[in-house]
Structure 1
Amino acid sequence: MFKLAMRIFPGLNWLRGYNAKLFADDALASIITSILLIPQSLAYALLAGLPPQAGLYASTTPLIAYALFGSSRVLAVGPVAVVSLMTAAAIGELGLNDPAQQMAAAGALALLSGGFLLVFGLLNLGSIANFLSRPVISAFITASTLLIIASQLRHILGIEASGATLPELVLSMAQSIGQLNLLALAFGAGSLAFLIFMRGGLQPLLTGLGVPDGTASTITRASPALLVVITTLIAAGMSLADRNGLSIVGELPTGLPPLQPPLVPLEIWRELLGPAALISLIGFVESVSVGQSLAARRRESVNPNRELFGLGAANAAAAFTGGYPVTGGFARSVVNEQAGAQTPLAGVFTALIIAIVAVFLTPLFYHLPKAALAATILVAIWKLADFHSLRDAWRYSHSDGAAAFLTLFGVLFLGVEIGLTLGVTVSIGSILLRTMKPHWAQVGQVPGTHHFRNPNRHDVILSPHVFAIRVDSALYFANAHFLEDLLAQTMAEHEGITDVVLMCPAVNFIDASALASLRTINQRLSDSGVTLHLSEVKGPVNDHLMAAGFADELSGEIFLSQYAAMRTLDPQTTLRAEGVD
């Protein structure tokens, strides 16, 4: 029975050898993580443009689903800043004003995102994260951070503002600045100061007073929850929402939503397909990065394909329980791991704690100022902006730097989805451009060795009638004609050539178009009295050429090494390179 459960729910492998000590560690970690997660969940729901309770709902069943299917022992799944921003952008495009409709659309977005992840998992596409280069990811996160900061300033200032791009947000706030609420500003600025002190100054102070490091660290991490308690008590005790118009969370429904799929019109499903694909990709990249970083510390491993199933199941669970798209968050996962979590059961305990809060304690959040939640977001994400990596990318590679800066510009000025799509398109386009005209070099023998190198970089000996060329790329449809033109031009410029050797140590793949080009090259060279040979062909590539019958059509031979080719085709030059007269 246990083995059957393992096959159905591979995430349950952590149950092997589970004992009372692990249970105690997981239970304690869940309490500490919940203290951080509850205020963050409320804040990120507001960032997503949804009622605060959506954040609580998104922090319950997804954790349980991930525990059943995921591969990381300590990854904490739930709402995160970047995915919340992308959710806000996607829902904002639908023109919905009813909060119930917005939550249903967010659930549909989560279900579509989960569907994409599950399909990718079935196809074993864990490598799909490679479509996003590091410079593009860094630029996207930096731009998203700036957008999040701009969007949350309206809560700090107590004004109404809207917009999906930085200019729209700035213009909207500028037009509403006359409505500045000094009380909201006081709460926001005070909350920022409190959280900054708690993060940077409290732990050294407590340590200096003799408090153990672990206890001091736990108190510091509890600062967002402590802020929620303090600001709520102040706002409630002084009736500030009624007297001074302070924006507060307001009434939240008690209990958990019914288990049901999101009910939205068909046209909304269609409009959410594109955003859901991008959210699934970004969420997967972020989650795998966090999971692998934490696993490396613990000498464990994270399986990307299993992560696709784990995150897909988590998003599907969120969709059926009133949540919105989720992924593995860095801050909460680090807190979970450092708090002593040993297995995904810590996440299950965290989900149960948050469910209890949603069922019994939501009235306590009624007077919570939105300015305090905005401060929680700002302090949590401001360090994510990384302009140094953009500069370094440009210095190292102008194409990578261009992709990064276009992503940054696109997200800030055109919108989250357009900016990310632009960055991915430019990244893939630059790869195609590089491989359409791959690096190539004529090669000659380095004296005294069996090595063959580029004469522009090394002193080599070239054969007078054997032209040896190395192509440093897979051969496929985009560069197949390039190779034809290159060899045609070479033959026109070099008289007396009797043999051409195509050196293939870097050729990992030859597609049907490239095979057709090789056949054309072989025929053209043969017609002009020149024999074509291949050398150092990789095993799988050679297998495909043999299966296609190209080895039989080839006018020359396929040599195991370039040295063997030259020793056979021009032994005198080879002996001269070896110093033999």
Structure 2
Amino acid sequence: MRLLPGLAVLRAYERGWWRPDLVAGATVGAMLVPQSMAYAELAGMPPVYGFYAVIAPLVLYALVGTSRHLGVGPEPGTAILAATGVGAVAAGDPDRYLVLMAGLALVVGAMAVLGSVARLGFIASVLSKPVLVGYITGVGLTLLSSQVAAFTGVAIGADRFFPRVAELARELGSVDVATLAVGAGSLGVVLLLRRWAPRAPGALVAVGVATLLVWALPGAQPAVPLVGAVPQGLPSPALPGISLADVLALVPVAAGIVLVGFTDNVLTARSIAARHGYRIDPNQELFALGVTNLSAGALQGFPVSSSASRTAVPAALGSRTQVVSLTAAVLVVATLLFLGPALGQVPRAALAAVIVAAALSIIDVPGYRALWRVSRSEALLAVVAALGVIVFDVLVGVLVAVALSVVVALGRMARPHDAVLGDRPELDGWVEVDAYPDARVEPGLLVYRFDAPLFFLNTDRFRSRVLDTLERNPGEEEWLVLDFEGVGELDATALDGLADLTASLAGLGLQRVAVARANQPVVRRLRRVALLAPEGPLHHYPTINAAVRDFRASRDAG
């Protein structure tokens, strides 16, 4: 049951859950049909491969996933990231491209499974909110620009956001009116239904209406490009013929997909689970991402992750379990078996409209507004992350996003908040003097707090801040108490720095230097290097008040 948590939920299935689960499953299936085709084209593959990529993941996630609502399958960010990486390796060979896409899904799956075995679920926290906002916005803008040709009929040769926009501006006279009408009309239907009937399968309605109109109107079919022949029948399991050199070339792309796909999966799943009273296991979700991608690759598909819309809709419809996914899988199989000829009549502009609608939904303008209200610097960080995606490519954007997250985290740890503390008896504790100006500072005693683990990156900062604070603090200090509640860890550099600091403090005439509220690992490390009394210069107190009582007693005795 630990490896198959979904099965445990299904074994406890209740009769009253059937109706909402089946209704939600039919709705998700209706969403998946046009989305799978559209996202396959976005990945540079024939539309039918979108179905190949979703059938097995839907079934397997229902067994191995910990979310009861997560909508797995093709997703635009993952599709465009895969297309960027595989396109560089395939070097223009379309047959090799298809094989490498399936191989990439297998590499993604293997990396995710190995990561779950190594308990690397914590990587869901690698990307900060500003970077995620910027990354997803960059992906949305990239998606918009990628559909210019299919949406307008203009031949676009550029492969980056700004060059595509510039090329469209130069070629506005070449816009095909019929193609644009189909694309704009389909987009309008999707957006209107999203606004006024959010539970309706807007993409399916839009694609269906566009297909009927193009089929019925005389002269429309030659003018508006169609999907073309769609093979009927189910895909056969097969391992793609890729070499070790191919695998090594795909590893960087796969790592980016695992990082972004897994982070997005966990964040989406947690947001829904919190509202419905169950929990998400990040390591199991990493395993589920691996299993679903292995199955997609084995059926000639491409890398998959999850869709926020296909997660939110069943939750809004009252679904209770992943029977939703199983129902959707049945509908996709039925579509492959019986609706191939009808799918071939779908206008490509209508599929482009589905992608444009998805792009508009993930451009996170509210996220930027929220960041701007909270922190201008974090809003700027989100802008930089978005530019990394649209100026270069999605893979570079992922690397930029990760690097920015790490740099921001290191920067905050290198220059953390610190404070001088004063006594506020009515608040039952010691508080920051800057925040509470009426807090009482004990004459002859300085209580100083440093709010970060002490290690090589901030040891010099800690030392200089302590000395600067002693120099600025009025009066002649007799005791210095270092509040170590925020110092949860010490490394070797920090221990050397503390030894140097205490040596410097000895020349300032301080009678005692103490640490208060240090946790046991910190105390053990201080003892190992003989920094704590009686062997060393530092005195340890479990609380600030205990240190203050000793200070007052020594002052009264003196």
The answer to whether the superposition gives a TM-score over 0.5 is yes
2-structure distance, mates of 1:249, 1:166: 25
Structure 2 letter corresponding to 1:117:
A
Cα offset for 1:394? Answer: 3.4
Which string of whole-angstrom CA distances, capped at 9 and with x for unpartnered residues, describes residues 309-367 of structure 1?
A: 11221112111111212122111122233344322232123223212322342232112
Q: Which residue of structure 1 aligns with residue 459 of structure 2?
A: 480
Equivalent positions of 1:163-182 (< 5 A) are 163-174=158-169, 176-182=171-177
- Tell me the secondary structure at the aligned position of residue 468 of structure 1: strand
2:542 matches 1:564: no
Which string of whole-angstrom CA distances, capped at 9 and with x for unpartnered residues, describes residues 433-484 of structure 1?
A: 2321322233343477763344444234445544432111111110122223
- Tell me the secondary structure at the aligned position of residue 510 of structure 1: coil
Which string of whole-angstrom CA distances, capped at 9 and with x for unpartnered residues, describes residues 218-240 of structure 1?
A: 6xx23432333333344345685
2:74 matches 1:74: no
Which of 496, 514, 523 is equivalent to 1:542? 523
The answer as to whether partners of 2:526 and 2:532 remain within 8 angstroms in 1 is yes
Cα offset for 1:498? Answer: 4.4
- Tell me the secondary structure at the aligned position of residue 484 of structure 1: helix
2-structure distance, mates of 1:87, 1:433: 32
Q: Which residue of structure 1 aligns with residue 49 of structure 2?
A: 54
Q: Which residue of structure 2 aligns with residue 214 of structure 1?
A: none
1-structure distance, mates of 2:292, 2:13: 23
Which string of whole-angstrom CA distances, capped at 9 and with x for unpartnered residues, describes residues 155-187 of structure 1?
A: 121122244421122234345545432221221
Cα offset for 1:54? Answer: 1.7
Which string of whole-angstrom CA distances, capped at 9 and with x for unpartnered residues, describes residues 176-203 of structure 1?
A: 54543222122112222333444445x5
2:10 matches 1:29: no
Equivalent positions of 1:46-125 (< 5 A) are 46-125=41-120
What TM-score does the superposition give when structure 2 sets the normalisation length? Answer: 0.90
2:367 matches 1:385: no
Which string of whole-angstrom CA distances, capped at 9 and with x for unpartnered residues, describes residues 222-273 of structure 1?
A: 34323333333443456857633x2211122222333223333444333332
2-structure distance, mates of 1:12, 1:144: 34
Which string of whole-angstrom CA distances, capped at 9 and with x for unpartnered residues, describes residues 505-544 of structure 1?
A: 2112222321232233344545776443111112443344
Q: Which residue of structure 2 aligns with residue 512 of structure 1?
A: 492
Equivalent positions of 1:490-509 (< 5 A) are 497-509=477-489
More displaced 10-residue stretch of structure 1: 456-465 or 291-300: 456-465
The answer as to whether partners of 2:102 and 2:302 remain within 8 angstroms in 1 is yes
- What is the aligned length? 553
The answer as to whether partners of 2:131 and 2:404 remain within 8 angstroms in 1 is no
More displaced 10-residue stretch of structure 1: 369-378 or 493-502: 493-502
What TM-score does the superposition give when structure 1 sets the normalisation length? Answer: 0.86
- Tell me the secondary structure at the aligned position of residue 537 of structure 1: coil
Question: Closer, same or farther in 2 for the Cα pair 1:563/1:243, shift >3 Å?
Answer: closer
2:431 matches 1:436: no
2-structure distance, mates of 1:53, 1:366: 10
2:235 matches 1:257: yes
- Tell me the secondary structure at the aligned position of residue 532 of structure 2: helix
- Tell me the secondary structure at the aligned position of residue 138 of structure 1: helix
1-structure distance, mates of 2:360, 2:383: 19
Q: Which residue of structure 2 aligns with residue 206 of structure 1?
A: none
- Tell me the secondary structure at the aligned position of residue 54 of structure 2: coil
1-structure distance, mates of 2:90, 2:289: 28
Question: Closer, same or farther in 2 for the Cα pair 1:223/1:434, shift >3 Å?
Answer: closer
Alignment gaps of 5+ in structure 2 = none
- Tell me the secondary structure at the aligned position of residue 438 of structure 2: coil
Cα offset for 1:90? Answer: 2.1
Q: Which residue of structure 1 aligns with residue 372 of structure 2?
A: 394
2-structure distance, mates of 1:391, 1:230: 36
Q: Which residue of structure 2 aligns with residue 211 of structure 1?
A: none
2-structure distance, mates of 1:446, 1:340: 51
- Tell me the secondary structure at the aligned position of residue 482 of structure 2: strand
Question: Closer, same or farther in 2 for the Cα pair 1:54/1:529, shift >3 Å?
Answer: same
Q: Which residue of structure 2 aligns with residue 157 of structure 1?
A: 152
The answer as to whether partners of 1:566 and 1:574 remain within 8 angstroms in 2 is no
Question: Closer, same or farther in 2 for the Cα pair 1:526/1:276, shift >3 Å?
Answer: same
2-structure distance, mates of 1:568, 1:182: 86
2-structure distance, mates of 1:447, 1:574: 21
1-structure distance, mates of 2:97, 2:220: 25
* Percent identity over paired residues: 30
The answer as to whether partners of 1:450 and 1:563 remain within 8 angstroms in 2 is no
2-structure distance, mates of 1:378, 1:354: 23
The answer as to whether partners of 2:215 and 2:221 remain within 8 angstroms in 1 is no
1-structure distance, mates of 2:429, 2:312: 49
Measured on the aligned residues, the alpha-carbon RMSD in Å equals: 2.9
2:315 matches 1:337: yes
Q: Which residue of structure 2 aligns with residue 287 of structure 1?
A: 265
1-structure distance, mates of 2:69, 2:471: 63
Question: Closer, same or farther in 2 for the Cα pair 1:291/1:450, shift >3 Å?
Answer: closer
1-structure distance, mates of 2:208, 2:538: 81
1-structure distance, mates of 2:310, 2:440: 61
Which of 551, 573, 576 is equivalent to 2:532? 551
Cα offset for 1:152? Answer: 1.5
The answer as to whether partners of 1:292 and 1:302 remain within 8 angstroms in 2 is yes
1-structure distance, mates of 2:62, 2:146: 33
Question: Closer, same or farther in 2 for the Cα pair 1:69/1:254, shift >3 Å?
Answer: same
Question: Closer, same or farther in 2 for the Cα pair 1:163/1:266, shift >3 Å?
Answer: farther
Q: Which residue of structure 1 aligns with residue 279 of structure 2?
A: 301
Question: Closer, same or farther in 2 for the Cα pair 1:461/1:184, shift >3 Å?
Answer: closer
2:361 matches 1:366: no
The answer as to whether partners of 1:250 and 1:367 remain within 8 angstroms in 2 is yes
The answer as to whether partners of 1:46 and 1:52 remain within 8 angstroms in 2 is yes
The answer as to whether partners of 2:55 and 2:332 remain within 8 angstroms in 1 is yes
Question: Closer, same or farther in 2 for the Cα pair 1:376/1:300, shift >3 Å?
Answer: same
1-structure distance, mates of 2:221, 2:72: 37
Which of 325, 330, 333 is equivalent to 1:355? 333
Structure 2 letter corresponding to 1:433:
G
- Tell me the secondary structure at the aligned position of residue 232 of structure 1: helix
- Tell me the secondary structure at the aligned position of residue 442 of structure 1: strand
- Tell me the secondary structure at the aligned position of residue 339 of structure 2: helix
2-structure distance, mates of 1:279, 1:504: 40
Cα offset for 1:559? Answer: 0.5
2-structure distance, mates of 1:522, 1:554: 10
2-structure distance, mates of 1:516, 1:157: 66
Cα offset for 1:500? Answer: 2.7
- Tell me the secondary structure at the aligned position of residue 77 of structure 1: strand
Question: Closer, same or farther in 2 for the Cα pair 1:536/1:385, shift >3 Å?
Answer: same
